[in-house]
């Protein structure tokens, strides 16, 4: 057992897979001798050399396409987006090639690529560096999307994603890199398609992921003090959704609220809400609640930025309102 930071857990998972499988390679801007913008690949260039840890030009579409080609020919590349917002420049490669080449080649090619990097609303990073791209990629056929929220699942999801033969996008939150947790030394390979039950309860199901998991946990302290017993589920797999785990919880609590940092229009919460209504409508005793970020570019101003994102007190208020129905 060891207490480590989330970015260190990602580094451990990546390093263990590179040691285990010589086909695993890393590429991206400043991932080599600089060690990555958040030091996830610190020391890798010296250990593995420039052929396995490739510093690329500032050309996201080009090096993502190169990684997809490398995956088609037998390597298992990991692409780091220095900031997830920059990967919009590689959207064509991710959507039209990474997501579709297994199908359009008639199954002749697999694309075992992992695309990862920091995203989410930071602290005064401005609109272009506060993107939540999960909503952009969720509708692309052929992609798997997962979001880590703790050092334990960050390391595990990294390892599982690298071993998958599918293209996987691993979303990391810029404000969680310094989150500290004691994790097991034993190998942990979670499913890329399963949610994680964070807390069992009977009054209401709270569905969340990434940084909002910790806002929900903070709100839960107040809710428990007030006599409520919420069940908390970190959905982890943003695509496909683990409707099995979610459904079992809703059938027990009969109330559900979604808490996300994604935008309200077209976000993960919107898709999740639609699926819940489609599959579990008869088990609901109240409307499906959904707390999302406002549909505005994230302001640079600290106080305004905070107003655009859901805060713990809003979660408490929303849960109380739903439970009183």
Active-site residue list: 60, 129
Distance of CA 281 to CAs 6, 238, 247, 255, 269, Å? 37, 21, 10, 10, 16
- Please check whether residue 68 is in contact with residue 41, taking contact to mean a CB–CB distance below 8 angstroms: no
Q: Phi first, then psi: give them for residue 282, nearest 5 degrees.
A: -70, -15
Cis peptide, bond prior to residue 15, ω within 30 of zero:
no
| CA atoms of 297 and 295, how far apart (whole Å) | 7
Nearest to 195 by CA among 204, 207, 186: 207
Q: Which two tokens stand for residue 147?
A: 């979001």
Quick one: CA dihedral 236, 241, 245, 249, positive or negative?
positive
| CA atoms of 325 and 323, how far apart (whole Å) | 6
Query: C-alpha dihedral over 64, 66, 72, 78, to 10 degrees?
Result: -50
Nearest to 233 by CA among 260, 194, 197: 197
Q: How many CA atoms lie within 13 A of 136 on its CB side?
A: 18
Give Cβ neighbours of residue 316 (< 8 Å, ≥ 6 apart): 219, 222, 223, 226
């Amino acid at each position: 057992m060891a207490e480590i930071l989330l970015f260190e857990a990602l580094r451990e998972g990546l390093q263990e897979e590179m040691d285990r499988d010589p086909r695993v390679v890393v590429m991206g801007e400043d991932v080599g001798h600089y060690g990555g913008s958040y030091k996830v690949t610190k020391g890798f260039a010296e250990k593995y050399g420039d052929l396995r840890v490739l510093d690329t030009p500032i050309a996201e579409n080009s090096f993502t396409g190169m990684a997809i080609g490398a995956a088609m020919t037998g390597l298992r590349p990991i692409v780091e987006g220095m900031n997830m917002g920059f990967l919009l420049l590689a959207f064509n490669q991710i959507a039209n090639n990474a997501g579709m080449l297994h199908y359009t080649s008639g199954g002749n090619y697999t694309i075992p690529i992992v695309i990862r990097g920091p995203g989410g609303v930071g602290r005064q990073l401005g609109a272009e560096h506060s993107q939540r791209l999960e909503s952009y990629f969720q509708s692309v056929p052929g992609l798997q999307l997962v979001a880590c929220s703790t050092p334990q699942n960050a390391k595990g999801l990294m390892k599982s994603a690298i071993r998958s033969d599918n293209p996987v996008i691993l979303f990391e939150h810029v404000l969680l890199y310094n989150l500290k947790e004691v994790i097991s030394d034993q190998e942990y390979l979670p499913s890329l398609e399963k949610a994680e039950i964070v807390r069992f309860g009977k009054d209401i199901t709270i569905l969340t992921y990434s940084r909002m998991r910790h806002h929900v946990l903070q709100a839960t302290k107040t809710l428990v003090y007030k006599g409520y017993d919420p069940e908390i589920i970190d959905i982890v797999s943003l695509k496909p959704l683990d409707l099995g785990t979610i459904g079992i919880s809703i059938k027990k609590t009969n109330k559900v609220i979604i808490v996300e940092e994604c935008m309200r229009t077209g976000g993960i919460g919107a898709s999740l809400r639609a699926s819940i209504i489609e599959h579990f409508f008869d088990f609901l005793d109240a409307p499906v609640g959904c707390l999302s970020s406002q549909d505005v570019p994230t302001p640079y101003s600290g106080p305004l930025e905070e107003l655009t994102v859901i805060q713990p007190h809003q979660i408490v208020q929303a849960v109380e309102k739903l439970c009183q129905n």
